[in-house]
Amino acid sequence: MTADAELIKSNLQFLLAEIGNQSDVLEGFPLDLQRFPEEIESIREWVEEAGEFGIAYEAMVTMLETFPFQISGAAAVKLLEVGLLMRFKTDQVQDAKFDSR
Protein backbone atom coordinates (compact mmCIF):
# COMPACT_ATOMS: atom_id res chain seq x y z
CA MET A 1 0.00 0.00 0.00
CA THR A 2 1.34 3.44 -0.91
CA ALA A 3 2.02 6.14 1.65
CA ASP A 4 -0.97 8.12 0.37
CA ALA A 5 -3.24 5.08 0.68
CA GLU A 6 -2.01 4.47 4.23
CA LEU A 7 -2.71 8.11 5.15
CA ILE A 8 -6.17 7.97 3.58
CA LYS A 9 -6.98 4.73 5.42
CA SER A 10 -5.72 6.08 8.74
CA ASN A 11 -7.60 9.36 8.36
CA LEU A 12 -10.86 7.61 7.41
CA GLN A 13 -10.53 5.29 10.41
CA PHE A 14 -10.00 8.28 12.71
CA LEU A 15 -13.04 10.08 11.32
CA LEU A 16 -15.18 6.95 11.41
CA ALA A 17 -14.33 6.44 15.09
CA GLU A 18 -15.53 9.97 15.89
CA ILE A 19 -18.72 9.60 13.89
CA GLY A 20 -19.44 6.10 15.21
CA ASN A 21 -19.25 7.25 18.83
CA GLN A 22 -22.06 9.78 18.47
CA SER A 23 -25.04 7.77 19.58
CA ASP A 24 -27.14 10.93 19.95
CA VAL A 25 -27.39 11.08 16.15
CA LEU A 26 -29.13 7.69 16.19
CA GLU A 27 -32.46 9.35 16.93
CA GLY A 28 -32.43 11.37 13.72
CA PHE A 29 -31.24 8.60 11.43
CA PRO A 30 -33.95 7.91 8.81
CA LEU A 31 -35.70 4.58 8.89
CA ASP A 32 -35.40 4.08 5.12
CA LEU A 33 -31.61 3.76 5.44
CA GLN A 34 -29.62 1.08 7.19
CA ARG A 35 -29.65 1.47 10.91
CA PHE A 36 -26.82 3.66 12.16
CA PRO A 37 -24.67 0.82 13.57
CA GLU A 38 -24.96 -1.12 10.30
CA GLU A 39 -24.06 1.97 8.27
CA ILE A 40 -20.96 2.53 10.41
CA GLU A 41 -20.02 -1.14 10.05
CA SER A 42 -20.45 -0.98 6.26
CA ILE A 43 -18.15 2.03 6.09
CA ARG A 44 -15.61 0.31 8.32
CA GLU A 45 -15.64 -2.72 6.00
CA TRP A 46 -15.16 -0.49 2.93
CA VAL A 47 -12.11 1.09 4.58
CA GLU A 48 -10.48 -1.82 6.38
CA GLU A 49 -11.41 -4.90 4.36
CA ALA A 50 -12.23 -3.81 0.82
CA GLY A 51 -9.94 -0.80 0.51
CA GLU A 52 -12.84 1.11 -1.08
CA PHE A 53 -11.76 4.48 0.26
CA GLY A 54 -13.79 6.48 -2.25
CA ILE A 55 -17.08 4.83 -1.27
CA ALA A 56 -16.30 5.23 2.44
CA TYR A 57 -15.28 8.88 1.97
CA GLU A 58 -18.46 9.69 0.02
CA ALA A 59 -20.65 7.98 2.62
CA MET A 60 -19.01 9.91 5.46
CA VAL A 61 -19.20 13.26 3.66
CA THR A 62 -22.87 12.67 2.89
CA MET A 63 -23.58 11.74 6.51
CA LEU A 64 -21.72 14.80 7.79
CA GLU A 65 -23.67 17.07 5.44
CA THR A 66 -27.01 15.49 6.33
CA PHE A 67 -26.91 14.80 10.07
CA PRO A 68 -25.84 16.86 13.10
CA PHE A 69 -22.52 15.16 13.79
CA GLN A 70 -19.86 17.04 15.72
CA ILE A 71 -16.27 16.40 14.70
CA SER A 72 -13.07 17.69 16.21
CA GLY A 73 -10.72 20.05 14.44
CA ALA A 74 -8.30 17.16 13.99
CA ALA A 75 -11.00 15.08 12.27
CA ALA A 76 -11.93 18.02 10.03
CA VAL A 77 -8.30 18.39 8.95
CA LYS A 78 -8.05 14.64 8.29
CA LEU A 79 -11.21 14.79 6.16
CA LEU A 80 -9.77 17.70 4.21
CA GLU A 81 -6.51 15.81 3.68
CA VAL A 82 -8.41 12.82 2.28
CA GLY A 83 -10.40 15.07 -0.04
CA LEU A 84 -7.24 16.73 -1.31
CA LEU A 85 -5.48 13.40 -1.87
CA MET A 86 -8.48 11.82 -3.58
CA ARG A 87 -9.22 15.00 -5.58
CA PHE A 88 -12.97 14.85 -5.19
CA LYS A 89 -15.78 15.42 -2.73
CA THR A 90 -18.58 13.08 -3.90
CA ASP A 91 -19.98 11.90 -7.22
CA GLN A 92 -23.15 13.94 -6.67
CA VAL A 93 -23.97 16.48 -9.40
CA GLN A 94 -23.65 19.44 -7.02
CA ASP A 95 -20.09 18.37 -6.15
CA ALA A 96 -18.82 18.11 -9.74
CA LYS A 97 -16.79 21.32 -9.42
CA PHE A 98 -14.67 19.61 -6.73
CA ASP A 99 -13.84 16.61 -8.94
CA SER A 100 -10.48 16.85 -10.67
CA ARG A 101 -10.14 13.16 -11.59
- pTM over 0.85? The answer is no
Report the domain count for the chain.
Answer: 1
| Eight-state DSSP code of residue 5 | H
Q: Any idea of the CA torsion for 45, 41, 22, 27, to the nearest 10 degrees?
A: 140
State how far Cα 27 lies from the chain centre.
20
Q: Which domain holds residue 15?
A: 3-98
In 3D, which of 62, 60, 61, 50 has the Cα closest to residue 5?
A: 50
pLDDT(91) > 80: no
Q: What is the mean pLDDT of residues 72-81?
A: 94
